[in-house]
Each structure stands twice: as C-alpha cells, then as structure tokens.
Amino acid sequence: MKNLIIILFVLTSCQPEYQAVTLEKLTGIWMAGSLQLDMDYYVPFNQVMQINTSSEIQYAQGSETDTFQSLILDPDSIFFPYQKYDRKEVSMIDDQLKMGYLYPRIFKRARNAPLKMEDAVIRSRLMQGNWKSNREILDFKQTTLFEADLNSNVKTSYCWQVYRVKDLVFLKTKDDFKGCEEPFSEVAQIIKVTEDSLVLEKWSGHSFKTLAYELTKASVENVPMSSFRLCNPYLYENSWSSWYFFKYSGFEGGLYELTKIFNDKYQKVTGDNIDGHIRAQFIINCEGQMGQLQLLEMNESYELSKLHPDISSQIEEILTHAGPWVAGERRGQILDTYKFLIFRIKNGEIDEIYP
C-alpha cells in the first residue's frame, strides 16, 4: 500500500501544471508552433498573435497584419477572431497555449528578446556567412535560404523574410519548390544574432526548441539538393486526405500500360522464396514525379516474409524508371498523393499487378 501511494504521488507530481486562462495570462506576444492533426502529426504555421490588456488581439504574418479585434472571455467560452472555443478547449501549460480540441493550434509565448538593430542590419548579419548547429548548416542568400542536413548530406531551399512585432523579430520560411507566394509555412523567433552567433526558437518536430548556431567556414555549395520534392512538405501517410478523393492520380496510360512495361522488362526469377506478394508504396508529387518508394514483402498468406532479392530489386528498378505519372487533383488543385500497388508473384514471375 505504501509503495502504491508513492507511485501515485510520483505520477501526479509529474503531471503538467495547467493555468487558468485569464486576460492577464493571455496578454503578450505569442508565436505559432503547429496545428496538430493527429497524435504524431504536426503542421507548422506562420503567425504571431499579440494580445493587449484592453482585450484586443492582432495577428501578424509578416507584411500582412490584421487590425486589432476584440477578444471576449466569457465564463464558458473564449471568442478569438474568426473562432469560438469552449473554455475546456483552451489550455495553458507554462509558456504554451493550446486552442481547440480535435485539431489544436499550439502557440508559445515569445521570448523577451528585443532586437534594437534595424531589419536591414539583421538581414546583413544573417547573410554574412554560413551558420552551423549540431544537425544542419544554414546559408542565407538574398531571397533563398539553403538548409543542409548534416545527417543525410542533402540540402533544401526556402524562401525567407524577417518581420517585426514591436521590438521582437521573427523569421518566416517556406519551401520554395513552388515559389514564394504567401502564406509562408513556418516561423521562428530570432533570439540573438551577432557577428558569430545565431539563436532561433521555433517549432521543430513535435515541440518548440531553441536552436543555437555558430558562424562557420563550411560551405553547402557541393551538398546536393533533394532529388524529389513535394508541394506539401508536410504530407502525412496516415492522413486519409493524402490517399483518397483524388482525381487521376496514377500511371499515365493506366495500369494496362504499366503492366505492359513490366511484361517487357521483368525477368523470371528462379530459386527459393519466389511466391508471394510485394506491396509498393510511393508518392506522386504535384509535378507527376514518383519518389519515396517503399517495398513490403509478403508470402502467399500476406504475412511478412522475405522473397528472393532479385524480385524486389527488379520491381524497384522498373517502377522507378517506368515513365510519367499523373498527379492527383482535388477541387481543381494539383496535389501530392500517396499511392500503392500490389504485385502478385507466382513461380518467380509477376502474375498480376493490382491497386
């Protein structure tokens, strides 16, 4: 019994401390983190929210800044502009604010780190050289930010701008694969930028993080760009909207033409483990390119099982170079989509391909 009491005490003492949501607690500047669409699926968004003591709220996203609007705190609900929440849907833990139940929006109180220098000086300092952390190198150009991942040795390019809310300075970014039109997708607070040090605070992965960089002589010019890019870099395979209700997503010419290519190029395999199924999962991006191919091997009973390696290697090679794909479409918008195909293997040959 004593041990049970100790365990319960430890569990309850580790619980986060929720704060009452009052105007006093809400007053200040809040930086957006992410929109949580699933247990482990977070989509960052660019927004800074300023709330004053007169129950007024203003949203900023850079050059686009709303006028101050009323924030109404009732006993049972809170009226933000464009959205009403029940009290139980709005929570505060330490310096974080969560709004909404099904798809909560997560904000963090901006750090009290005013930068008094002019925006032009900030931009100049960011572009004075490359910035290295323990996981990446940042290379700021006039309108493009190159981010080189030190683990994968691949770089991605972004549009970037700095903007200010009072004396706080924020950096907004967006993957530039399809241009730099608004809205930008991520925001970070610039905590410090000196001649040799840069500190950012932003949503990264599943939480807010403080990222420290030092000026480096390391170059990213020879780091290759990612060979396969998405219109939506936050595409999530466990979201139904990434799979269904899309128009014309598939191989150009249909399954018939794809089957003809495999009939022409695939060579029969002999030996052991030559019967079963292979599930090919991949993405067709907004430009009709195929990438991020994954193969799952199964026996005849659809149980995970290794097949002869020459089977999967041929399927991967042929499918990767099969030819043009047709991008998915919904309500007139061209989108990235997940797709999969099943290859039924009999006696080392492809007996059938089906979706």
What is the tens place of the pLDDT at every residue in 113-165?
999 999 999 999 999 999 999 999 999 999 999 999 999 999 999 999 999 99
Distance CA 16, CA 18 (A): 6
- Residue 320: which of 280, 352, 353 has the closest Cα? 280
> Strands (DSSP E) along 102-240, which ranges?
105-109, 130-132, 136-140, 144-149, 154-165, 168-175, 186-193, 197-204, 207-216
Model pTM score: 0.88
> Amino acid identity of 342?
I
Residues 162 and 209 in one domain: yes
Enclosing H/E stretch for 319: helix 309-320
Residues 129 and 188 in one domain: yes
Is 91 a member of any domain?
A: yes
End residue of a domain, out of 109, 144, 175: 109
For position 48, which CATH number holds? 2.40.128
Distance CA 94, CA 98 (A): 11
Based on the structure, what is the number of domains in the chain? 3
Is 228 a member of any domain?
A: no
Residues 93 and 128 in one domain: no
For 205, the domain range is: 119-216
Residues 99 and 164 in one domain: no
Q: Is the pLDDT of residue 10 over 50?
A: no
The whole-number average pLDDT for the span 261-283 is: 96
Residues 83 and 186 in one domain: no
Cα dihedral 252, 253, 258, 264 sign: negative
What confidence tier does 12 reach under pLDDT thresholds 50, 70, 90? very low
In angstroms, the first-to-last Cα distance of the chain is: 57
